[in-house]
Structure 1
Amino acid sequence: MNVAGIILAGGRATRMGGGDKGLLDLGGKPLLAHVVDRLSPQVTVLALNANGDPRRFAPFGLPVVADADDTRAGPLAGVLAGMDWAAAQGFDLIATAAADTPFFPSGLVADLWAGMASEGKLLARAETERSGGGFDRHPTFGLWSVGLRDDLRRALSDGTRKVVAWTDRHGCARVVFAGDDPFFNVNTPDDLQQARRRIG
């Protein structure tokens, strides 16, 4: 698989009091480092989508790709920035992961790839099954065809902000992952404490 990985770190972290959640300590290293360690073996190259001064991420040694503008259009803007960066590097696919989700599956990209190929789709997203029935969607964990970037650019210009509102237009392979809350993300101080217990 020749896939560029993009870690989405463009959120404002308002429920954590602002700042970069990815730089918070989790088990002796930054939260973002756990995401880097988990995604980098699954992709060919890795970049970080973040806005503002990129020097704060210098210790990670990754390219930092900002959104095309500062409208804070949400994760879709980060996906588009990642697509444009990957296209310039010659990649046809990007895999995305959220910067605040340290326990996602180590086989994420391979399983998304298999789901995309088996359904003949241009997009694939992660889901988990609810204990009471139904499925939870995790649309920031996906595999995206870079060839759709101009369509996504138009959608953002037209005001589309919800990831699934755009992906469902194109048909999106749904890949269900099992495990103990594999897409648990750190949104609040309580979540951070829970993640620290889980690491411990």
Structure 2
Amino acid sequence: MIPRDELTGLVLAGGRGRRMGGCDKGLVAFDGRPLAGYAAGVLRDHVKELVIVANRHCAAYAELADRVVADVEPDYRGPLMGLYSGLQAARGAWLVMVPCDVPGLPSSLVARLVDQRGTADVVVAHDGTRPHPVVALVRVDLADDLAACLARGERKLDTWQARHRRVWADFSDCPAAFTNLNTRDERLDLERRRGKES
């Protein structure tokens, strides 16, 4: 087990949102709440501190988190840089990260990642068909290794994770929970589907 005091929650919200027209995706309304609010809600009760990585509208994100930090390096360098920025900000031994655009993540997410860790340094959610590298539990002391990889030009989260002891956490019972919303049409479609289910 990992004590809650050793867990930092991280919501990645630092992207350009190009496929959603360049808007700040984490603040886009979904069923009346900002998308990042769902991600924050999944983490908040299971971590000591909740951090959001954001490169725009930091005051708005501050209402959803304990701290907001920008990417360590500018120019929107992707989720690997977002993870590194979160690792730099973390105050415990472990960090659990999620993207800002997946509103259906299960409330049991953190507990399940922790429970399936074993002796791994990186635990990645797997929906039974494919892994989701942006939904992961990561040892904070891997920050220096990640910095070295970034300096060498690495940009792929999955490639960096594969360098370490990694396991897949089984979420095959809820694959739809990992549906991410990249476009306005995807957002509207999921809102409609959720409305029919309620």
User: Is TM-score (shorter-chain normalized) higher than 0.5?
Assistant: yes
Stretches of structure 1 lacking an aligned partner (at least 5 in a row): 130-134
| Deviation (angstroms), 1:61 | 4.8
Map of 1:17-166 to 2, 5 A cutoff? 17-86=21-90, 89=91, 91-117=92-118, 120-129=119-128, 135-166=129-160
- SS in structure 2 at match of 1:69: coil
Identity across the alignment (%)? 35
- SS in structure 2 at match of 1:169: coil
Large movers: runs of 4+ above 4 Å = none
| CA gap 1:4/1:198 in 2 versus in 1, 3 angstroms | farther
CA distance in 1, matches of 2:49, 2:69: 13
The one-letter code matched in structure 2 to 1:76 is: L
Are 1:194 and 2:193 an aligned pair?
A: no
| Deviation (angstroms), 1:180 | 4.8
Moved more, 190-199 or 52-61: 52-61
The one-letter code matched in structure 2 to 1:94 is: L
Residues paired across the two proteins, number? 190
1:132 aligns with none
Q: Is the 8 A contact 2:14 2:56 kept in 1?
A: no
Q: 1:104-152, CA deviations, whole angstroms, 9 ceiling, x for partnerless residues?
A: 12111111112212xx1111000111xxxxx311000000000110000
Task: Please provide the CA RMSD for this pair.
Answer: 1.4
Stretches of structure 2 lacking an aligned partner (at least 5 in a row): none
Q: Is the 8 A contact 2:49 2:66 kept in 1?
A: no
| CA gap 1:137/1:56 in 2 versus in 1, 3 angstroms | same
Q: Is the 8 A contact 1:42 1:107 kept in 2?
A: no
- SS in structure 1 at match of 2:63: helix
